[in-house]
Amino acid sequence: MIKLKQITDFLESELVAIAGVSRNQKKFGYIAFKELKDKGLNIIPINPHADEIYGTKVFKSISDLPQEVNSLIVLTNKKNTEAAVKEALNKGIQNIWIQQMSETKQALKLLEGKNVNLITGECVLMFYKPHSIHKFHRFLKKLFGNYPK
């Protein structure tokens, strides 16, 4: 079970990369990136097919990230999650948040026994300065005892 301390430690990272940022403003990968950036998270988008998204320079791959990046949110399609995790491990990234609905058994198996702060099964938008529907989901998780402790 994910602990609240793991989430807090992740969100206190000075610089966070996000894999799976979409150029399409209607897709979750774009919406999540924009919302986290607007709320003040120091975040770097990754998309192999874009140079800039929402006024921010885009990195083509996890391998291309600056050395100081030690936290990664994976918002990729499930078919790309395992590759993102492999690349993150090769890069030495110590904090990996696999957004709910992006996790796969193969990706999680790669992370078994690794010294990584792994968060899965949770929505980052519910924990980083939530508002509207995400604040309501957070309330429900607390109400029903499903909120990390």
Q: Which residue has the tokens 């320079």?
A: 57
Mean pLDDT of 32-54: 97
For residues 98 and 85, the answer to whether their CB atoms sit within 8 Å is yes
Mean pLDDT of 84-111: 97
pLDDT on residue 131: 86
Q: How confident is the model at residue 1 (pLDDT cuts 50, 70, 90)?
A: confident
pLDDT on residue 141: 85
For residues 70 and 95, the answer to whether their CB atoms sit within 8 Å is yes
Q: How confident is the model at residue 132 (pLDDT cuts 50, 70, 90)?
A: confident
Half-sphere exposure of residue 75, counting CA atoms within 13 Å on the CB side?
A: 23
Look up residue 63 and give its two tokens: 């391998």
Give the class (CATH, top level) of 4-143.
Answer: alpha beta
Structural domain spans, the chain: 4-143
For residues 81 and 74, the answer to whether their CB atoms sit within 8 Å is yes
pTM of the model: 0.94
User: What's the rounded Cα separation, in Å, for the pair 56 and 103?
Assistant: 26
